[in-house]
Structure 1
Amino acid sequence: MRTLSITQDERKIIQSSQPIVWLNENYQNPVSASATPEVDEFYEAEARLKRCAPLLQRLFPELEPSHGLIESSLIKADRLNSKINPLGGSLFLKADHDLPVAGSIKARGGIHEVLCFAEALALKHGILENKDSDYCVLASEPARGLFSQYTVTVGSTGNLGLSIGIIGSALGFKTVVHMSSDAKQWKMERLRRRGVRVVEHNTDYGAALEAGRLEANADPNSYFIDDERSPNLFMGYAVAAKRLQAQLEALNIKVDADHPLFVYLPAGVGGAPGGITYGLKKIFNDNVHCFFAEPVQAPCMLLGMAGEPDTAPTSIYEFGLKNDTDADGLAVGTASQWVCDATRNLLSGVYTATDEQLYQQLYLLKTLENIEVEPSAAIGCLGPAMLMTEAGQKYLESHHLTHRLENSVHIPWLTGGSFVPDEEYQRYLAKAVKLST
């Protein structure tokens, strides 16, 4: 087994599928990993989404109120705060469960990646003269005729496939989504109704991803979206940090040394939470503290971040874990090495939770804030309590945060839920009630 920066006691806890809080020893340390994203790409992603806003508004009428901006609200949650936050300070929910167009955190990154490909094709073939052109031309018949000659392919546990399939089909691309065994049937049916070809696999996310990669590589007109190592996905996700900054400023909320910000991000293969962490650290530096959250049966990012730079991450299967979780969006066996290296000195730590805990948080979100999410999206709500553990207290003390908690802001990032069919959500809720009362 590879060398990992975890203790023997931590290893036993992980192998026994018990919740753990792991602190990142590389946090704030210089690293020599090969994956060092350029900050210029961060700002270019933001500019691209602004250029494409009129196009998106034309393709998706639900974006008219936001003038083509794909963004979610920031919800103050005082009732939930009094229940889940023993630290003090305020609590807001980043409502990506209700993100327009694709209904999950994957919308920004997935849509940005497809727009990158469409933009490049349109510039190459003269449909766009330059980047100052009217991007609504990408919805024209000549553009759709061009795009129809190409296939966009992706591997997914569900939500990324939804975002890629929705924007790909809207622009006229042939779109193929390879779905892992844990993907929900309703997500596959939603894609098929849009004309997307869905390939179901009786294997986990990694195998579905590789199948998509092999199929795409065999077709010169196929564009493969690689959730494990795509800078375009990563930077599309990172743009959320700029949007959050504007939302905090609009509420006159300070983020500085005396007003620390804590953000709790559900993590699967790592792209979305990694990109958001990258963006937040570029904006708020050491005043923001980002933690990934994973199911006890699928702590792939914990094992990846505990490894060495430029080294293939350790699989959860090497720890005897089964990837058996209702948090389908987080059911990933091996983390993205690229994301681990890109965020190795930015991430504060990782915590894990049982499915029972996720359902309990799902119940609290519904009963206290009337917010409906899928189980994977509820895991961020365990963040404040995580900081009350021995490891969490060690982190607060070592970074001189203990006496600043009254001024702190905590943001669980809600990742998916609004597209969940009502009958599916009612099953979630019934299980949550049973486990919570």
Structure 2
Amino acid sequence: MKIKSEKAYEDLRNERPQFWNNLSYNNKFDMNTLKLEFEDILDAEKRLKRFAPFFQRVFEDTKKTKGIIESKVFKIEKASREIEKYEKIKIPGKIYLKGDHSLPISGSIKARGGIYEVLCLAEKIALESGMLRLEDDYGKLAEDKFKDLFNKYSVAVGSTGNLGLSIGIMSAVLGFKVTVHMSCDAKEWKKEMLRSKGVIVREYESDFSYAIAQGRKEAQRDPNCHFVDDENSKELFLGYSVSALRLKKQFEDMDILVDQEHPLFVYLPCGVGGGPGGVTFGLKWVFGENVHPIFVEPVQSASMLLGMVTGMYNNISVQDIGLSNRTIADGLAVGRSSEFVGRFVEPIVAGFATFEDNELYDLLKILYDTENIALEPSALSGFKGIKMLLSTQEGKKLLSDINLENKMDKATHLVWATGGRMVPKDVMMADYNKASYKL
């Protein structure tokens, strides 16, 4: 094991919140050297557009957007001022919220990658059957004859919650038999919602890595079963990446500049890595050297940071260094990160921030009271990235390394809110009541 930073490793072992300035980061990295290309993102965008008529037919909440699954960028001026008080810092530039908590169909960022992979499978089966052509109106996929076709196949996935929701809801609507293997961290309401859709839910007393391993093993016994592999899936990765194309247009419409004088920092909650990795891949193609992605993880589940600092990726787990992998941020409760994602995005992730759980409740309360935005705890993680970037020696070193310390007054901070709309009101208020901060 060749440790890249002894301090970062010791902070991990001792459960100390930190910012790590990624030594491999190159903000001018040549994206053409990666195995996936910009054309792959454009291809994913085209596929999503082909399915837009289907979405409009079967999901009421996609009709206003003409079948496009996308979220708004929110101005959060009141919350920004309150967060400055809470964190006791002055935040230069402006903070916005990317509202993936309100995405149609499954109410989280997983509505991007998870749904996209199921669409890839459905399209492949339908085209090969001869019942669908690329030039057809994909609204026809809502017909019973396609449900009968898809019912010959099954889908399986391992999940801490939100990926399972997106895969389960989408697969069931199309007609696939679907099984979600849920880790011990999964919330009860997510399991109940899946079962209400006709999804088989298998529960485990162990964590995400075990659940995904069991799901993979079971799927291998069935030649007609497609396993959505959150640790290694190119389709999931590309589904997330499309968001960058949409974000560019949203920024243009809102007159938000991103250039050398107006840097963009994007704060991404990180579990196994697929969601933030795919988004980062898209962002770097769209905004190039002017965007700086930062992954944010709980101190007890900082698996991507651990894998990168040690160079061991998925060959080391947080439990190996004495961490519990227990966190209220259930979507981030991953002890072993994706090697595929870690190696792929290592040169394009600016840094990592870690945080302690109890702060998420306070931030949840702040967002709800100031902006009337309801998020699940893990979706508040990004705000801790801002604090750690601006207030730590390592964060300040990153800004110095990329020559931005004198340009932060014109910076845009985009916090990616990864889930919240589907959370039952009583569950949301229970989390709200755990906050100790008084506005």
| TM-score relative to the length of structure 2 | 0.95
| Distance (whole Å) between structure 2 residues aligned to residue 45 and residue 307 of structure 1 | 33
Q: Does 1:49 align with 2:52?
A: no
| Distance (whole Å) between structure 1 residues aligned to residue 395 and residue 314 of structure 2 | 28
1:329 CA displacement: 0.5
1:37 CA displacement: 2.1
Q: Does 1:90 align with 2:84?
A: no
**Aligned partners of 1:84 and 1:385 also within 8 Å:** no
Report the equivalent of 1:346. 348
| Distance (whole Å) between structure 2 residues aligned to residue 3 and residue 318 of structure 1 | 16
Report the equivalent of 1:165. 168
Report the equivalent of 2:324. 322
Structure 1 stretch 75-84 or stretch 329-338: which is displaced more? 75-84
| Distance (whole Å) between structure 2 residues aligned to residue 237 and residue 247 of structure 1 | 16
Structure 1 stretch 374-383 or stretch 228-237: which is displaced more? 374-383
AA in 2 matched with 1:340 = G
**Aligned partners of 1:4 and 1:303 also within 8 Å:** no
Q: Tell me, what secondary structure is at the counterpart of 2:179?
A: strand
1:11 CA displacement: 2.2
| Distance (whole Å) between structure 2 residues aligned to residue 426 and residue 82 of structure 1 | 23
Give the number of equivalent residue pairs.
Answer: 431
**Aligned partners of 1:303 and 1:313 also within 8 Å:** no
- Percent identity, aligned pairs only, is 45
1:435 CA displacement: 5.2
Structure 1 stretch 366-375 or stretch 104-113: which is displaced more? 366-375
Q: Does 1:27 align with 2:31?
A: no
Report the equivalent of 2:112. 108
AA in 1 matched with 2:350 = S
1:31 CA displacement: 9.9
Q: 1:322-401 residue pairs with structure 2 within 5 A?
A: 322-388=324-390, 389-401=392-404
1:111 CA displacement: 0.6
Q: Tell me, what secondary structure is at the counterpart of 2:427?
A: helix
1:35 CA displacement: 7.2
Q: How well do the aligned residues superpose, as a CA RMSD in angstroms? A: 1.7
Which of 96, 103, 117 is the aligned partner of 1:99? 103
Which of 227, 232, 235 is the aligned partner of 1:229? 232
Q: Does 1:214 align with 2:217?
A: yes
1:12 CA displacement: 2.3
1:369 CA displacement: 1.4
Q: Tell me, what secondary structure is at the counterpart of 2:63?
A: helix
**Aligned partners of 1:10 and 1:20 also within 8 Å:** yes
**Aligned partners of 1:74 and 1:94 also within 8 Å:** yes
Q: Does 1:184 align with 2:182?
A: no
Q: Does 1:10 align with 2:5?
A: no
Q: Deviations over 1:56-90 (max 9, x none)?
A: 11110111000001111100011122233523111
Q: Does 1:279 align with 2:293?
A: no
Q: 1:226-305 residue pairs with structure 2 within 5 A?
A: 226-305=229-308
Residues 168/77 of structure 1: CA separation in 2 closer, same or farther (3 Å cut): same
1:359 CA displacement: 1.4
Unpaired segments ≥5 residues, structure 1? none
Q: Deviations over 1:234-259 (max 9, x none)?
A: 00011111111110010111100000
Report the equivalent of 1:146. 149
| Distance (whole Å) between structure 2 residues aligned to residue 252 and residue 355 of structure 1 | 35
